[in-house]
Amino acid sequence: MKRTAIFLFCFSLLLVVQSQGELIEKEEGIKALNSGNYDLAIEIFKACVDKQGDSGKLAAYCSFFLGRAYYEKGQMEEAIKYLKRAGEVYKEGMVVAHVSAGWYYWLGRAYYNTGKYNEAIVSFQKASSLAYENPES
């Protein structure tokens, strides 16, 4: 019984440390993005996307920020790819409305910048609808 308790404690501690490391990595990527170091942000968030796979909140956030980094770098097709992926990875309704609204807003901007105006309108309308549903955001 004592061994089981010790094992569970150590396993829980490992998960907490791993999660904190991933959060620190995400924060470093956001700092790089905000400071205009888009290549570093892309590197960090690409590694996160590869590591996280196709499900979960962190996979969605890393996809979103990777899309944002590509957007800021002017690589709109890559931006669209990862901004769309963010919403697909973390299914609508499983995430707070203001976060989804942000994803749709940036996706709309990327569509607009590539001349895909109909897709941009749909994305902006979805962002507006989600923001309206959550006025505190």
Query: What is the signed CA dihedral for 102, 117, 72, 69, rounded to 10 degrees?
Result: 60
pLDDT for 81: 97
Name the average pLDDT for the chain: 79
pLDDT band at 134 (very low <50, low <70, confident <90, very high): low
What number is the average pLDDT over the span 74-101?
78
For 111, 122, 136, the CA distances from 107, given in Å and listed in that order, are: 6, 10, 22
The pLDDT tens digits of the residues spanning 53-70 come to: 887 788 888 999 999 999
- Residue spans of the domains in the chain: they are 18-133
What number is the average pLDDT over the span 92-116?
80
Structure tokens at 94: 């499983």
pLDDT for 22: 60
What number is the average pLDDT over the span 2-18?
36
Task: Please give the span between the terminal C-alpha atoms of the chain, in angstroms, as a whole number.
Answer: 47
For 5, 7, 9, 50, 80, the CA distances from 12, given in Å and listed in that order, are: 10, 8, 5, 24, 37
pTM exceeds 0.85, yes or no: no
Superfamily grouping for domain 18-133: Tetratricopeptide repeat domain (1.25.40.10)
Of 74, 79, 85, nearest in space to 49 by CA: 85
Question: Could you tell me which residue, 129 or 3, shows the higher pLDDT?
Answer: 129
What number is the average pLDDT over the span 93-101?
57
Residues in CB range of 98: below 8 A, 6 or more apart: 130, 131, 134, 136, 137
What number is the average pLDDT over the span 75-97?
79
Structure tokens at 108: 């709309």
**Residue with the two structure tokens 């590869």:** 50
